[in-house]
Amino acid sequence: MKHHLTLLVTVIALLAGFTSQAHAADLSVVKARMSERLGQVVALKQDGSFGENNLGYLTARKELSAKHAKLLAAENADRKTVYVAIAAKTKSSATTVGKARAKSIRSTAPKGTWVQLASGKWKQM
């Protein structure tokens, strides 16, 4: 849980640096949605329903209910928005940002979390 709070603070700090008020307002909404979902996402990663893939997105590790599939899709859509915004600011690509985020998640994932290694192989931490 501590890692997820660190992630949230990092995302908030990155989002705070954008100068466009309209863009910042959009990202503020994304940040709020991600924050609201955080507890559910953590719980679903802990029970093995979700895993963190090597591109910085969630992947279903079990058959999901419609509610959980919708949650996964919403989280991934918001992650993509954040990655695109960070990429624009750093003159990178969303794919590069996502891969870097995946590497960070792998290095700090709590025990029991499923993560996909850069090679594509899945490992439970």
Cα–Cα distance for residue pair 122/66, rounded to 1 Å: 24
pLDDT at 19: 41
pLDDT at 26: 86
Domain definitions of the chain by residue range: 2-124
pTM: 0.80
pLDDT at 12: 54
Mean pLDDT of 103-123: 96
Extract the runs of DSSP E, i.e. beta strands, from the chain: 50-52, 58-60, 114-116, 122-124
94-103 pLDDT, tens digit per residue, is 999 999 999 9
Taking residue 54's Cβ as centre, other Cβ atoms within 10 Å add up to: 20
5-46 pLDDT, tens digit per residue, is 455 545 555 555 544 444 555 889 999 999 999 999 999 999
The amino acid at residue 60 is: A
